[in-house]
Chain A
Amino acid sequence: MHINFWQAFLIGMIYYLGNSTWLAGVGYYTLYRPLVAGTLVGFVLGDPVQGAIMGATINLIYLGFISAGGALPGDPALAGTVGTAIAIASGITPEAALALAVPIGLLGTLIWFARLTVNVIFIHWADAFAEKGDTRGVMLINVFPPQIFLFIISFFPVFLASLYGPEAIQSAIQLLGGKVLHVLIVIGGMMPALGIALNMRAIAKSDTMIYFFLGFFLTVYLNLNVIAVGAFAVVAAYIHIILSRGGNVHGTV
Chain B
Amino acid sequence: MGQSKKLSRWDVIKSFWLWMFFSHSCYNYERLQAGAVAQYMAPILKKLYTSKEDISAGLKRHLTFFNTEPNVGAIIHGITIAMEEEKANGVPITDEGINAIKTGLMGPMAGIGDTITQGIITPILLALGISLAKEGNLAGPVIYTALISACIIGIAYFGWMQGYIQGRKAVEKILEGGLINTVITGAGVMGCMVLGALTGQFVSLSTPVVLTVGQTAIKLQADILDKIVPKVLALLLTLGVLYLVRKGKSPVTVMIYIVLAGLIGGLIGLF
Say which residue of A26, A131, A199, A241 sits within 8 Å of B56 (CB atoms): A131
- CB neighbours (8 Å) of B71 from chain A are 25
Q: Once the chains bind, are A192 and B203 in contact (CB under 8 Å)?
A: yes
Rounded to whole Å, the gap between the CB of B5 and the closest CB of chain A is 16
Q: Once the chains bind, are A208 and B153 in contact (CB under 8 Å)?
A: no
Q: Once the chains bind, are B251 and A230 in contact (CB under 8 Å)?
A: no
Stretch at the interface among A155-163, A167-175, A221-229: A221-229
Q: Once the chains bind, are B145 and A30 in contact (CB under 8 Å)?
A: yes
Stretch at the interface among A7-15, A57-65, A85-93, A102-110: A57-65
- CB neighbours (8 Å) of B267 from chain A are 179, 183
Q: Which B173-201 residues sit within 8 Å CB-CB of chain A?
A: 177-178, 182, 185-201
**A204 sits at the interface (CB 8 A):** yes
Q: Which A190-204 residues sit within 8 Å CB-CB of chain B?
A: 190-204
Q: Once the chains bind, are A199 and B195 in contact (CB under 8 Å)?
A: yes
**A138 sits at the interface (CB 8 A):** yes
Say which residue of B25, B38, B177 sits within 8 Å of A147 (CB atoms): B25
Rounded to whole Å, the gap between the CB of A55 and the closest CB of chain B is 7
**B78 sits at the interface (CB 8 A):** no
Q: Once the chains bind, are B193 and A24 in contact (CB under 8 Å)?
A: no
Q: Once the chains bind, are B153 and A122 in contact (CB under 8 Å)?
A: no
Q: Which 5 residue pairs spanning A and B have beta carbons closest together? A: A215-B196, A219-B200, A226-B111, A230-B108, A119-B28
Q: Once the chains bind, are A64 and B123 in contact (CB under 8 Å)?
A: yes
- CB neighbours (8 Å) of B231 from chain A are 216, 220
Q: Which B8-31 residues sit within 8 Å CB-CB of chain A?
A: 17-31
Q: Once the chains bind, are B70 and A56 in contact (CB under 8 Å)?
A: no
Given A57-B134, A203-B104, 13 more contacts at CB 8 Å? A30-B148, A52-B138, A60-B130, A117-B28, A127-B60, A186-B205, A197-B238, A197-B244, A198-B245, A211-B192, A216-B197, A216-B235, A233-B107
Q: Once the chains bind, are B195 and A208 in contact (CB under 8 Å)?
A: no
Count chain A residues whose beta carbon lies closer than 8 angstroms to a beta carbon of B: 108
Q: Once the chains bind, are A39 and B141 in contact (CB under 8 Å)?
A: yes
- CB neighbours (8 Å) of B123 from chain A are 63-64
Given A35-B133, A36-B145, A219-B197, A195 and B185 contact (CB-CB distance below 8 Å): no
**B126 sits at the interface (CB 8 A):** yes
Q: Which B103-124 residues sit within 8 Å CB-CB of chain A?
A: 103-104, 107-108, 110-112, 114-115, 117-119, 122-123
Show 5 A/B contacts (Cβ-Cβ < 8 Å), sorted by A: A29-B149, A196-B199, A200-B242, A233-B194, A234-B190
